[in-house]
Amino acid sequence: MSTPILDVTGLSMHFGGIRAVDQVDLDIKSGEIVALIGPNGAGKTTFFNCLTGIYNPTAGEIVLHGPGGKHHRLNGLKPNKVTEKGVARTFQNIRLFQNMTVLENVMIGRHCRTRSFIAGAIFRTRHNRREERQIIDHSYAILRKVGLEKSVNELAKNLSYGEQRRLEIGRALATEPFLLLLDEPAAGMNPQETRELDGLISRIRDDGLAILLIEHDMKLVMSISDRIFVMDYGKGIAQGSPAEVRANPAVVKAYLGEEA
C-alpha cells in the first residue's frame, strides 16, 4: 500500500500562447482515489491527454512506477504504448465504438494483452481459438462487473448515457490497467446512476487499481476521494484531503470567481 505509482512534475502544455497546463505537479499512490477538479477550461482534460500520450507535453516529467519496481517515462510515448504500460482512460465526450456491440467494445480493450495476427486469424489454430475464448470470457466478466451483462449484444450507440459511461469504464478495465483515469464519468447521469457509479469506482479500487478522477459532481468527489487536486487556469492551486480542499480559500475563490 501507498507506494507511489505516478509522479508528475512541472508538467506544462502550451498551445501557442495558451498555457492550458502550466507547471503542474501531481502524484498518485497505489490504491488511492485521487480527484482532479477545477472550473471549466482549467486544463484538466488537457492534463489527461498529456498523461496518455495524445499530446506531447511542452515541458515536465511524467514517471510511472509499474508493478515489480519498473519505472517508465511516459513523455512522448504513443497512446497505445502508454496503455500497454498499464494506464487506461475514459473520455469526457464518450468515444465508444458506436456501431460495435457492447461486448465487442470490451473485446477491443483486450487487444493489447493478446497476440493473434493475420495467420492466427486465418488458420485459427488451437492456440488462437483458446485466446479468442479467453478474450470473450474476460470481456463478459468485465461487463458483469460494470453491470452491463444484459446488453452484451446491443450496439453501443443504443445504450443510455449512463450505460455508455459504464461501458467506457469496462472497456478501459479490459486493458488491465493499474492506474485508471476517468474524465467526468458522472456527467449526464441521474442521481441514482451516480450513486451506482460511486459503488463501482470503490469496487475497482478494492481490486487494487489507483484512480485519477476528473469530476464536477462535488458530492461524488467529496465522498469518494482520498485526496483532491485543484486546477485553475492551467495551474495547480491546491491539494489535500476533501476537508482541507473545501476549506481552502483559493479553491473557494476559483469556484466563486467563476460564477460571479
Partner 1 sequence: MYVVLGLGLNIVVGVAGLLDLGYVAFYAVGAYSYALLNLHFDMGFWAVLPIGALLAALFGIVLGFPVLRLRGDYLAIVTLGFGEIIRLVLENWNDFSQGPSGIANIPRPGFFGIELSLDQAILYTYYLMAALVVITIFVVNRLQDSRLGRAWIALREDEIACQAMGIDKTRTKLTAFALGATWAGMVGVIFAAKTTFINPASFTFLESAIILSIVVLGGMGSIFGVLLGALILILLPEYLRALSDYRMLAFGAILVTMMVFRPQGLIANVRRSYRFRKNPGSGTP
Ligand X SMILES: Nc1ncnc2c1ncn2[C@@H]1O[C@H](COP(=O)(O)OP(=O)(O)OP(=O)(O)O)[C@@H](O)[C@H]1O
- Can residue 187 be called a binding residue for partner 1 (CB under 8 A)? no
What CA–CA distance (Å, rounded) separates 236 from 244?
15
- Can residue 92 be called a binding residue for Mg ion (CB under 5 A)? yes
How far apart, in Å, are the Cα atoms of 14 and each of 21, 50, 59, 79, 230?
Answer: 7, 11, 9, 19, 19
Among 134, 158, 202, 241, binds partner 1 (CB under 8 A): 134
Are the C-beta atoms of residues 10 and 61 closer than 8 Å to each other? yes
Among 155, 187, 222, 237, binds partner 1 (CB under 8 A): 155
Task: Give the angle subtended at the CA of 117 by the CAs of 114 and 118, to the nearest 5°.
Answer: 165
- Among the candidate windows 16-24, 78-86, 186-194, 244-252, which touches partner 1 by CB under 8 A? 78-86
Among 33, 88, 221, 245, binds partner 1 (CB under 8 A): 88
What CA–CA distance (Å, rounded) separates 120 from 113?
15
As measured in angstroms, the least distance from the Cβ of 3 to Mg ion is 29
By CB under 6 A, what part of segment 68-127 binds ligand X?
A: 92
Among 31, 43, 57, 185, binds ligand X (CB under 6 A): 43
What CA–CA distance (Å, rounded) separates 206 from 13?
33
- Can residue 15 be called a binding residue for ligand X (CB under 6 A)? yes
- Among the candidate windows 14-22, 112-120, 137-145, 148-156, which touches ligand X by CB under 6 A? 14-22
In one-letter notation, the amino acid at residue 241 is S
- Can residue 54 be called a binding residue for Mg ion (CB under 5 A)? no
Element (H, E) at 250: helix 249-259
Among 1, 17, 69, 99, binds partner 1 (CB under 8 A): 99
What CA–CA distance (Å, rounded) separates 128 from 222?
46
- Can residue 104 be called a binding residue for partner 1 (CB under 8 A)? yes
**Between the CA atoms of 240, 241, 244 and 245, what dihedral angle is there, to the nearest 10 degrees?**
70
C-alpha cell at 114: 493478446
Are the C-beta atoms of residues 212 and 37 closer than 8 Å to each other? no
| Among partner 1, ligand X, Mg ion, none, partner that 93 touches (CB below 5 to 8 angstroms by kind) | none
- Can residue 23 be called a binding residue for Mg ion (CB under 5 A)? no
As measured in angstroms, the least distance from the Cβ of 49 to Mg ion is 9
Binding site for ligand X (CB under 6 A): 15, 18, 20, 38, 40-46, 92
